[in-house]
Amino acid sequence: MTELAPYAATSRASRGRRIAEPAPEGRSEFQRDRDRIVHSTAFRRLEYKTQVFVNHEGDLFRTRLTHSIEVAQIARSIARNLALNEDLVESVALAHDLGHTPFGHSGQDALNECMHEHGGFEHNLQSLRVVDLLEQRYGAFDGLNLCFETREGILKHCSRTNARKLGDVGERFLLNHRPSLEAQLANFADEIAYNNHDVDDGLRSGLITLDDLSAVPVFAVHLEQVRREFPELLDRRLIHETVRRMINRFVTDLTNESRCLISDYAPTDIEAVRRAPPLISFSAEVKRLQQELQSFLRGRLYRHYRVQRMANKAKRVVRELFSAFMEETQLLPPDYRDRAKFDAPRAIADYIAGMTDRYAIKEHRRIFAIDMF
Ligand code: MG
């Protein structure tokens, strides 16, 4: 690793783990966090959780696992160029979606509605619950006992009500402080990754076409470039050449703009970063390009009737599972049934949130199909 900037997060300046542990040998604290995340059960489940396209719709669509790996790749590249801590951005990127429900945003919306009177459901907070509590692997503690900086990065948003219950990691939402630059960066890398791979997956699915996308300036400009450079290029290669140029544009712009902001503000250390305004940002022009792309995806892809049909089914699966378990907690597997004695809605939400898409569908069948036990 190149030498870190003074405002980067370091193992040495870490606010530490909830339960103190001896320093790791041969790797940094944040590398240890990453390793724990990669070995977790929740991480392996990401392979069968999707955001836009449900797993069985095709083998080549992004899953939450490949999405998280793309986020880590983008975040690490930028971190290296800004002399930030690559190990920390990687940990945050790989963990950022661990709390996602099955069926992407529709699953989360449905679970949030079900939990309306029981404290709500929020996937960011759930990711933190996974690493703080729900993973059961270590003898000495529940969860993964990650460093404060990794946990702070996982908790991207949080309501003030929830922040008050979270102690150290909730504090910044009450004080209006920022997280580390690594956490800010992982958040942008997430956006860059999904905007671009949703374009690619959207085209692959046939729900949107190159013609549709030509109305989006940032796509049109790069498509034009590729066509000029390779007039014969068709289909997948044309798309990939265009998407990779878009990613590059976003990454380069984010790096340059952030470098300027950081150098103007000149934070002396990570504590100064926390009190500073956001220092990772796109330029005004690229922010606009990115918003245009996002609103295209929202209108044309996420609200496409075929995506909506799947989302509608997904919500039904989540809602029906939730009510069946609420009505009869004896239907829950033993671990969750025991926890349901103390707080049934939360135990049920944890169980459902942990499900992969296909597990949720199977579980729904096991509970509701008369000919299946
Ligand atoms: Mg994400």
Distance from the CA of 372 to the center of ligand 1, in angstroms? 35
Given this model, what pLDDT does residue 373 score?
59
Look up residue 330 and give its amino acid: Q
Predicted local distance difference test score (pLDDT) of residue 360: 96
Helices (H), 206-283: 210-213, 217-229, 235-265, 270-275
DSSP-H helix ranges across 97-234: 104-114, 123-129, 148-154, 160-165, 171-175, 181-205, 210-213, 217-229
From the CA of 189, how far away is ligand 1's center (Å)?
Answer: 9
Map residue 17 onto helix, strand or coil.
strand
CA of 277 to the centre of ligand 1 (A): 23
Q: Which two tokens stand for residue 193?
A: 């990754």
Q: Measure 100 CA to ligand 1 centroid, in angstroms.
A: 9
Where helices occur in 29-133 by DSSP H, the ranges are 29-38, 41-45, 64-81, 86-95, 104-114, 123-129
* Per-residue pLDDT tens digits of the chain, which is 373 residues long: 569 999 999 999 999 999 999 999 999 999 999 999 999 999 999 999 987 776 666 777 889 999 999 999 999 999 999 999 999 999 999 999 999 999 988 999 999 999 999 999 999 999 999 999 999 999 999 999 999 999 999 999 999 999 999 999 999 999 999 999 999 999 999 999 999 999 999 998 899 999 999 999 999 999 999 999 999 998 899 999 999 999 999 999 999 999 999 999 999 999 999 999 999 999 999 999 999 999 999 999 989 998 888 899 999 999 999 999 999 999 999 999 999 999 999 999 999 999 999 999 999 999 999 876 5
Q: What are phi and psi of 314, to 5 degrees?
A: -60, -45
Q: How far is the CA of 190 from the centre of ligand 1 (A)?
A: 5
| Cα–Cα distance, 210 to 227 (Å, whole number) | 12
- Calculate how far, in angstroms, residue 108's C-alpha sits from the geometric centre of ligand 1: 13
Distance CA 208, CA 299 (A): 11
CA of 8 to the centre of ligand 1 (A): 23
Please tell me the distance between residue 98's alpha carbon and the centre of ligand 1 in angstroms: 9
First to last CA, the chain: 54
What is the 264 CA–ligand 1 centroid distance (Å)? Answer: 30
How many whole angstroms from 360 Cα to the centroid of ligand 1?
Answer: 20
CA of residue 68 to ligand 1 center, whole Å: 6
Centre of ligand 1 to C-alpha 188, Å, is 10
Distance CA 208, CA 304 (A): 9
Distance 194 CA to ligand 1 centre (A): 7
CA 287 to centroid of ligand 1, rounded, Å = 18
Give 163 Cα–ligand 1 centroid separation in angstroms: 21
Residue 38 Cα to ligand 1 middle (Å): 16
Instruction: State in Å: Cα 90 to ligand 1 middle.
Output: 13
Residue 34 Cα to ligand 1 midpoint, Å, equals 16
Residues 6+ apart with CB under 8 A from 337: 329, 330, 347
Distance 122 CA to ligand 1 centre (A): 13
- Cα-to-centroid distance, 67 and ligand 1 (Å): 7
- Element holding 346 (H helix, E strand): helix 334-354
